[in-house]
């Protein structure tokens, strides 16, 4: 990034500009047609009316958004926010020590641990969620082992609960928390921590008065990166949750594919997207200006 | 760190075990002879044999590979020039274009799925294998753009300048200077995009037409119709192959 301004300055700016737009155009067109336009269609449908037999009548109305105020939807939105918030909190509690530990390892082992953290996160999410079904269900591994050890006499109901969904979310998105936290902690000058010890800080005040302020951008980044996919989760509540653990993602799918109420499903999607976008704004506001300019995540 | 060592190491070890234990359990029990899959009854390759006999499954595997190959190719063909164009752009235009490119990465997957579904219905494009390829290319494009740009930013711009000063055309500069330097990043990004496409469930779930069943869709319907030991074997194949691909991708990125 430091090098690029001279390269732009050295070529005639008109030529460089037309050349860059020629390179950009195909990709930009693709994203516009297959991402921006579909979002615009969702927005348009959310402002239309449901036909008698499903389908969409193009009559403007805000009814779909008014319908979202119904307590049933409010409950599902509230539950989603709660589960996503709890998952974010748990990831932070588990992820901070893990990231701190990795950042203090010798460089070669740091790289190994980071790769180990990243691999599950690029691995089939459906299959990893299924693994928890295999472990938690009534005849599952955990119950089988506990019964064989005579710790319990009857299998426990572990699967199909809010707790199982929470476990699945933390499991699925923990790497999103660890990576930005690691990046933030790794940048701290060890001398600052030494200084805190020398000035008789205990662990808690070291954590609260040195580590937290210095890693705030990383904490915000990790929280946003866990919160966004947790809030929009579909598979985790679908596979691990019971009838009462529905989240917004499942509700959207239900409205589209089961109830065939596309306008209402669209209104739900738009509200979900707005929540996601506002948490992203918070994320960008918390990043140091240099990283923001480079557009780094 | 003054007695914190054990405590930190313990919690970090637990975190790592938490990430890997379910995957290990899955792979180990895929080799279990038992029909009731949670009780160990001896080692057997039986369930992998069952997979190999299942023609619907092999057809799904072929679909998955085709979709991943085509959507990855599209993403690279569109993403590599886009990344180079973005690097040359400056000012506010760059930020706006950047945001447009990143949008598919931050959009909730369910939203991406329903938006594409609605779009295809509105423009009367019947759902098929092609709609899945298009959808996958849409979320793979930003991955290629981000990863290739990260490499471009590390390059010394004087290399390209030197090439054009020596009379190389734009194409020659690209082919003989830029491409060899970004090739590892492009390969790494392509492998990652390929893996993500192979693994995608949600977008595929919404935009797959009849006959476009992929492996994840197959796994999902097997899970929903009751748990059989066959799923463990299929899941292990999927997990281990994406781990292999990601490992390769990481190797290329380090070059």
Query: Per residue of chain B (255 residues), what is the pLDDT tens digit?
Result: 445 578 888 889 999 999 999 999 888 888 887 776 567 777 777 778 888 888 888 999 999 999 999 999 999 999 999 999 988 887 788 888 888 898 898 899 999 999 999 999 999 999 999 999 999 999 999 999 999 988 888 888 888 888 888 888 888 888 888 888 899 889 989 998 999 999 999 999 999 988 889 999 999 998 888 767 788 888 888 888 888 888 888 888 776
Q: How high does pLDDT run on average in chain B?
A: 87
Query: A206: which chain B residues are within 8 Å (Cβ-Cβ)?
Result: none
Alpha-carbon gap: A127 to the closest alpha carbon of chain B (Å):
6
The CATH number of residue A86's host domain is 1.10.3720.10
The CA distance from B240 to A124, in Å, is: 9
> What residues form DSSP beta bridges with B128?
B208
The CA distance from B108 to B202, in Å, is: 10
Q: Which CATH superfamily includes the segment(s) B54-254?
A: MetI-like (1.10.3720.10)
Beta strands in A1-159 (DSSP E): 49-50, 56-57
CB contact residues (below 8 A), chain B span 194-233, against chain A? 195-196, 198-199, 201-202, 206, 216, 219-220, 223, 227, 231-232
pTM: 0.86
Does residue A292 sit at the B interface (CB-CB below 8 Å)? Answer: no
Helix axes B92-106, B129-154, angle to 10 degrees: 130
Are B204 and A126 in contact by the 8 Å Cβ rule? The answer is no
Query: For chain A, first and last CA: distance in Å?
Result: 15
Q: Do B88 and A297 touch (CB under 8 A)?
A: no
Domain extents in chain B: 54-254
**Residue pLDDT, tens place only, A156-193:** 888 899 999 999 999 999 999 999 999 999 888 888 88
Residue A147 lies in a domain: yes
Are B115 and A42 in contact by the 8 Å Cβ rule? The answer is yes
| Number of domains composing chain A | 1
Token pair listed for A140: 């599952």
- What ipTM does this complex have? 0.86
CB contact residues (below 8 A), chain B span 104-143, against chain A? 104, 106-112, 114-119, 122, 134-135, 137-138, 141-142
Residue A47 lies in a domain: no
Residue A61 lies in a domain: no
A13 to each of A5, A6, A8, A16, how far by Cα in Å? 11, 11, 7, 5
Identify the pLDDT of residue A17.
53
CB contact residues (below 8 A), chain A span 62-91, against chain B? none
The CA distance from B208 to B135, in Å, is: 10
Comparing CB atoms, the residue among B107, B220, B250 nearest residue A115 is: B250
Are A17 and A24 in contact by the 8 Å Cβ rule? The answer is no
The CA distance from B223 to A265, in Å, is: 26
Q: What are phi and psi of B134, to 5 degrees?
A: -60, -45
In the predicted structure, residue A1 carries a pLDDT above the cut 80? no
At residue B6, the 3 state secondary structure works out as helix
The gap from C-alpha A121 to its chain's centroid, in whole angstroms, comes to 12
Domain of A189 in residue numbering reads as: 72-294
Q: Do A249 and B108 touch (CB under 8 A)?
A: yes
Alpha-carbon gap: B100 to the closest alpha carbon of chain A (Å):
7
């Amino acid at each position: 990034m430091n090098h690029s301004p001279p390269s732009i300055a050295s070529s005639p700016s008109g030529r460089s500009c037309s050349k860059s737009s020629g390179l950009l155009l195909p990709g930009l067109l693709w994203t516009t047609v297959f991402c921006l336009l579909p979002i615009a269609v969702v927005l348009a449908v959310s402002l239309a009316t449901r036909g008698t037999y499903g389908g969409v009548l193009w009559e403007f109305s805000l009814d779909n958004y008014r319908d979202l105020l119904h307590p049933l939807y409010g409950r599902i939105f509230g539950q989603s926010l709660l589960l996503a918030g709890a998952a974010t909190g748990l990831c932070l509690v588990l992820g901070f020590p893990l990231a701190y530990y990795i950042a203090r390892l010798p460089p070669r082992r740091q790289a190994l641990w980071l790769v180990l953290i990243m691999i599950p996160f690029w691995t089939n999410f459906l299959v990893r969620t299924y693994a928890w079904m295999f472990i938690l269900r009534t005849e599952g591994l955990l119950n089988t082992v506990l019964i064989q050890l005579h710790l319990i006499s009857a299998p426990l109901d572990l699967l199909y609960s809010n707790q199982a969904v929470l476990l699945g979310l933390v499991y699925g998105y923990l790497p999103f928390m660890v990576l930005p936290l690691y990046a933030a902690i790794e940048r701290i000058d060890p001398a600052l921590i030494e200084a805190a010890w020398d000035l008789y800080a205990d662990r808690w005040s070291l954590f609260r008065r040195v580590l937290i302020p210095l890693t705030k951008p990383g904490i915000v980044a990790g929280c946003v990166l866990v919160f966004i996919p947790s809030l929009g989760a579909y598979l985790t509540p679908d596979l691990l949750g019971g009838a009462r653990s529905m989240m917004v993602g499942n509700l959207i799918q239900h409205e589209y594919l089961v109830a065939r109420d596309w306008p209402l499903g669209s209104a739900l999607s738009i509200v979900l997207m707005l929540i996601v976008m506002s948490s992203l704004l918070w994320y960008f506001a918390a990043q140091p200006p240099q990283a923001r300019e480079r557009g780094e995540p | 760190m003054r007695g914190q060592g054990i405590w930190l190491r313990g919690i970090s070890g637990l975190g790592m075990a938490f990430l890997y234990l379910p995957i290990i359990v899955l792979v180990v029990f895929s080799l279990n002879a038992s029909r009731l899959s949670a009780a160990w009854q001896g080692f057997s390759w039986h369930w992998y044999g069952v997979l190999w006999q299942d023609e619907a499954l092999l057809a799904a595997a072929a679909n998955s590979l085709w979709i991943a190959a085509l959507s990855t190719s599209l993403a690279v063909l569109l993403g590599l020039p886009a990344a180079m164009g973005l690097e040359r752009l400056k000012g506010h235009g760059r930020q706006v274009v950047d945001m447009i490119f990143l949008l598919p990465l931050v959009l909730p997957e369910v939203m991406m799925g329903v938006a594409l579904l609605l779009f295809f219905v509105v423009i009367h494009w019947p759902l098929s294998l092609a709609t899945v390829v298009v959808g996958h290319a849409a979320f793979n494009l930003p991955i290629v753009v981000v990863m290739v740009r990260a490499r471009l930013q590390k390059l010394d711009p004087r290399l390209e300048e030197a090439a054009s000063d020596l009379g190389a055309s734009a194409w020659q500069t690209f082919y003989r200077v830029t491409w060899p330097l970004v090739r590892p990043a492009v390969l790494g990004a392509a492998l990652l995009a390929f893996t993500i496409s192979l693994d995608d469930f949600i977008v595929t779930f919404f935009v797959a037409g009849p006959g476009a069943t992929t492996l994840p869709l197959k796994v999902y319907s097997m899970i929903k119709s009751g748990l059989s030991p066959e799923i463990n074997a299929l899941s292990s194949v999927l997990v281990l192959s994406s781990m292999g691909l990601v490992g390769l991708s990481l190797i290329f990125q380090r070059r």
